[in-house]
Structure formats: C-alpha cells, structure tokens
Amino acid sequence: MSVLKGKKVLLGVTGGIAAYKTASLVRLFIKAGAEVQVIMTPASKEFVTPLTLSTLSKNPVFSEFYNEENESDNQNATWNNHVELALWADLMLVAPTTSNTLAKMANGNCDNLLMATYLSAKCSVYFAPAMDLDMYKHPTTIANLNKLSLFGNIMIPAEHGELASGLSGEGRMAEPENIIAFLENHLLQQLPLKGKKILITAGPTYEAIDPVRFIGNHSTGKMGFDIANEAAKLGAEVILVTGPSHFQNDNSSIQLIRVTSSDEMFDQCHLLFDDVDVAIAAAAVADYKPKQIAKQKIKKTEAAFSIELEKTKDILASLGKIKTKQFLVGFALETENEIEHAKLKIQKKNLDLIVLNSLNDEGAGFGKATNKITFIDKSFKIEPMPLKPKEEVAKDILNKIIGLYHA
C-alpha cells in the first residue's frame, strides 16, 4: 500500500509544455489512493484542459478566484477560497514549476489563485522545475531554487533529456512515475515510526473444550487491527498476531499471523519479542482454559456439567519479565476500581503504558465502533480521553507511544 493512500494532495499546474504530463500524474495519485484537488494557472489551460484534470481527479478544477460563469453576477459569484484549499491539503505539489512561477514563489508575487494558495499553505510544499536548459542554469533561476529550499520547500530535481526547444540537457520535468516515487520515499523518511518494528496482538483467543466447542469472548479484534494500520501508516514494520477475527489485512507493511489459542499466541509473541522495539498487547486473551480437552464431542447427557479450568500463561507478564529495550503497552478492560486495578497491572507486568477501558463507559468495550480509553503511564500519570471512533483511538494510542518512547 502506498504511503500516499488517504493523503490530500493539492496539485498546482503552471503554463509550461510539461503540463501535459499532469494528466498521468493525477491518474497515478488516484491509483495510489490519494485525493487530489487541482489548481491551474490561466496559462496552463493552453497546454492541458481543466476538463481532463477534473475527470481524472474526480474533483472540480480551480483556476480563478471567482468561478468564471459567475463573474458578471457579483451577487451569485462563488469565491474559491485559497485559504481553505491550502488548509485542506496534506501536501502541495507545483508541477510543472516554470521559471515564471518559480520567481513568483521565491519573491511572494501573488497575482493568481495558485500563488495565493501557495502563500497560505501550512503543509509541505514540493515543486518540480521544468524549463529549457539555459533558463534552468541561469543565475537567477539558481538563486530562486536556493531561496525556495531555504523556505523549507522540497525540490523534485529536473531530469536530463530532450527539451521542447530541441536541445538536450537538464531542465526536463521529472516523469510522473519518478515524481510519485520521490514523494513516497520522502514521506516515508519523515514518518515518526520509520525503522521501528512493532508487535501487536489482537482479537480473542479460543480455548478448546472439545473438537467443536471453546471458551472465548466477544472481542472482534478491531482495536488491534486499527492500531496495526495506523502504525504502518506512521512508517513502522508491523507484526500483528491475531486470534480468530473476520478482519483482513491489505497493507504490505503488516505481517499477519493468525492463531487460535492463548498458548499459540504466547509462543508467537515470545518468538518475535526480542526483535521488536514496541509491543502492544491489545488482544483479549482468555484467563482460563480447560485442563483437559475432550478428543470427541461431549454428548449432552447429564442435567449438570462441569469443566475443570486452569490458568492460561500470562503473555503480557511474561514479556514484562524479559523485556530489555522494548516499550511495552498493555490493555485493561475493567468493570470496577478501574484505576487501581490498572496501576497494579503496570507494576506486576512491568509495563511502560496501559490503555484502560471500562465497561461502565457507554460506547466502550467489545464489538463497538467506538472506544473510550484512559492512559496511565509507569509514573501513574493519568490522562482520560473522550469517546471516539476506534480508528481515532488508534491514532491517540500511537501518538502517546511516540511521545513517551522518544521522551
């Protein structure tokens, strides 16, 4: 899965012959899972049509401060808000960046919608120069390129090749595939969990009674899967060990290992633990299992039936005993004396952080789309969080870990 998936990309198109490449560029952004809004300078429409880019991006294309069809009617005119466009974007790309637009960006010359949006942008801004060889090598161009870099903008270097003038040399805008590769690589390097390996457990465990029955719980695994997806988005290499769950994984950065019982999850976690930086135990592991498993289906004969149970291995406590460099996170689902019980778990299991759920909170617990958690760290600092969708809770959990792990 591309790191561009889910990103909001604002593409600025300027008036150079390389503008024809932006049709392919938009298509590649969409294929990568990004959402694209296009702003065109008036001159760029001589090289590629707004209809083409609108069709490919599946969004209206902006060019003027006011929609052209309404310019004559001030009362009904629609203002294209450059500030809203700038704030919407996760990243902005100006491609092609002609020498004219380059000079405007370097000197703050705001004479069109694209420039107004650029000057309002708070996100990362990338630019892909495109001009003839002599223009590209001119001292003013070099000065403007340096200026933009000093402002914190990121240049996607021009490539060597045949130019519109018929000359061959440096100045050709990078090919769309190379622009996408540049962006993906740069974004990956900026991610806070790049280079980190994270072990996550999810779902319930099923403890067999006989070949057809088991002891389990109502956990679906959604919270663990959401944490895994968010960790992967933040650049981590993720190993997700999950008990029985209907959730699937479509992210190549996540290694999915499916298990059934607590013993199988214990073995997998101990096999992997030495090699990870962070372990997040979000699974709802059974506390007890049948002492004996019947080899054949138990028949319904007696009015009463009892099963002798024994404790399962405590995965989290066992990892806490052997941890060295790992940041260890546990979950606690409580119904009474929640804070006190969670603090005891931190001490007993040698945790760095615990994520507390209470079944007394409406909207929290198993089988829900939402969750309400409280963070308690090893210093017993308590931070309650509001009720949120589990996808947002996953972000909160990862942000909390990043803050504490790097503290």
Active-site annotation, residues: 217
d(CA 128, CA 91): 14
Radius of gyration of the chain (CA): 28
Phi, psi of 315, deg, nearest 5: -60, -50
**Sign of torsion over alpha carbons 41, 46, 50, 52:** negative
Other C-beta atoms lying within 10 Å of the C-beta of residue 231? 27
What proportions of the chain, in percent to the nearest 5, are helix, strand and coil? Answer: 35, 25, 40
d(CA 272, CA 252): 18
d(CA 194, CA 191): 5
Tell me the C-alpha to C-alpha distance, in Å, between residue 347 and each of 322, 344, 378, 382. Answer: 14, 5, 8, 15
Tell me the C-alpha to C-alpha distance, in Å, between residue 307 and each of 206, 209, 290. Answer: 15, 8, 7
Other C-beta atoms lying within 10 Å of the C-beta of residue 303? 5
d(CA 183, CA 235): 14
In 316-343, which positions are buried (b, 16+ CB within 10 angstroms) versus exposed (e)?
beebbeebeebbbbbbbbbeeebbeebb
Report residue 250 as tokens.
């479509």
Report the relative pairing of strands 91-97 and 159-162 from DSSP bridges: unpaired
**Sign of torsion over alpha carbons 113, 118, 124, 130:** positive
d(CA 237, CA 240): 10
**Sign of torsion over alpha carbons 88, 89, 93, 95:** negative
